[in-house]
Amino acid sequence: MSTSYLLRAVWDEEPPATARAALQTCVLRLRRLFAKYGISATTIEAVPGGYRMHNDTETLDLVLFRTLTSQAGSAAGPGEELYRLREALSLWHGQPLANVASRMLQQDAVPALEQERLRVLERVCDLELAAGNCHQVLVDLYESARRHPVRERFTEQLIEALYRTGRQAEALAEYRTVRDRLRDELGIDPGPGLRRLELAILRAEDLAPAPPEPARAVTAAEAPALPSGPAATTSRPGRTVLPVPAFAGRESDRGAMAARLAAADGPRLVVVSGAPGIGKSALAHQTAHEVQEAFPGGVSTIALARPDGTAVAVEDAARLLPDPGAGRRLIVLDGAAGAWQVLPLLPATGDASVLVTSRRGLAAVVATHGGAVHRLDVLRPAEAYGLLAGLVGAERIAAEPAATGRLASVCGHFPLALRIAAGRLLTRPGLSVADCAAWLAEDPPARLALAEDARLSVPEVLGQALDALAPELREAFLRLGERAADEDPSVRENEAVLEQLVEEGLLEDGPPGPYRLHDFLRIYARWHVRTRGTTAVATSAAAAASVVGSAPH
């Protein structure tokens, strides 16, 4: 966990001046407490930029829960899968983190953990219904549908169970109760699944149990901000890799990447690099969707970074690589921290095509294994318009074309920022694009954040990238942000430092041409200095971090 994440978890947005020293004291107390009860004092390690605490199935229920759900996905049959998932659910007792006072964790981590549990519960109910155990699962479904009324899948399952146990009137009454509540409270109609179910009941159709879709492990990108390790998702033969919602642009990149990945000979390695939030993962997943037919062995995605930005250990990632003999496959290594994380994995990929995303260019990877690097820039105005139209709705966006252009400009044409802005418009149907753009323009870095997901937060995503820098690189980046946009960074900065910032994805181009800082990153750098203190404060923080790193552990 990064130091900045821990500071926010403990003190929310109002840390005291001595917060870093106090955090060091907290860690020291935890180590002593662990030692008192016979737990190794080295359980918590100081690492660059934060702390790491190793955990496994013996020490953390969440790890055991995820292990069991992952094993369930490869179970020999529905019976074994159901047994493992029931065992996993038995680990939950009440609300998670109920005795933790952190407002940030209660707002961000707890809902994500609850969603993770609910996904497994939905799967259990699917398996029970498929096995014909409609009476047995009714208790679970009544409770789940009442406690989570906007989660329509539970209501669908409840209505199906009632209907298949001969209670047609109760099933229709449940549907109409949900329909009326959705209309009254949200102004929407039930989803297509519920509508089809109502029609089937009215027609007295036979709802025979259908074989449930195979489960999959929770990915690191989906997991809440309590990292337990990497996870992989696999597109099995016969299943599809879904496209990225409202993906727009990057046609030339997608075409070139698809041609190399599907090539019959030569290095089938592609690296997608660029600034944080520039859309690397989205491009990789969209490309995987478009080329999946060329890979009968399926597509496997391995997240190499946890939600808090910390890197997954190489040995953990290696355990998730697919069997080289399973047919021609595409492997996506998402969020690599550097060549050190990728190079040890490549020999085990066999003849698979490999697509890597990273802020870094990974020159050492392509220099030793061949391949191509696609360095992403911001979206063009037409591409940004297409992304917003695909997410928010073409009619709503077309009604305010000038305001849409202004909104895209406020977002720096960064896909991450554009998706966050679209999320705000979607959750506020009465908000005009112009008003949204004007509100965001007052303080873009702070306001481009969705509270329920740290991955959709400009301060969180860019803050993680900044926290990962060495102190001298962090100070150089913040200094560049204070300068005029037309000033050549090389005039007053060491070229070696600038090259390292290019490698970190925070600066563009360089010799023989000039270096270039994205306008959006410049705005973020100025906001960071204004809200978090000057570079002198950053230097003090770096010194405090070095003291933390030297503490006994």
Higher pLDDT, 303 or 538: 303
pLDDT (tens digit, 9 = 90+) per residue, 117-159? 999 999 999 988 888 888 888 888 988 888 888 788 999 999 9
Percent of the chain, pLDDT > 90?
34
CA dist 183 and 165 (Å) reads 28
Q: How many helices (H) and strands (E) does the chain have?
A: 26, 10
pLDDT (tens digit, 9 = 90+) per residue, 15-27? 888 988 999 999 9
| 3-class state of residue 235 by DSSP | strand
CA distances (Å), origin 378, targets 276, 390, 391, 517:
11, 18, 18, 12
Q: Is the per-residue pLDDT at 548 higher than 60?
A: no
What is the reported pTM?
Answer: 0.58
pLDDT band at 436 (very low <50, low <70, confident <90, very high): very high
Dihedrals phi, psi of 432, to nearest 5 degrees:
-80, 155
Give the chain's mean pLDDT. 84
pLDDT (tens digit, 9 = 90+) per residue, 62-100? 989 999 888 888 777 888 888 889 889 988 888 888 888
Instruction: Decide if 142 contacts 158 (C-beta within 8 A).
Output: yes
Q: Which amino acid is it at 367? A: A
| 3-class state of residue 344 by DSSP | coil
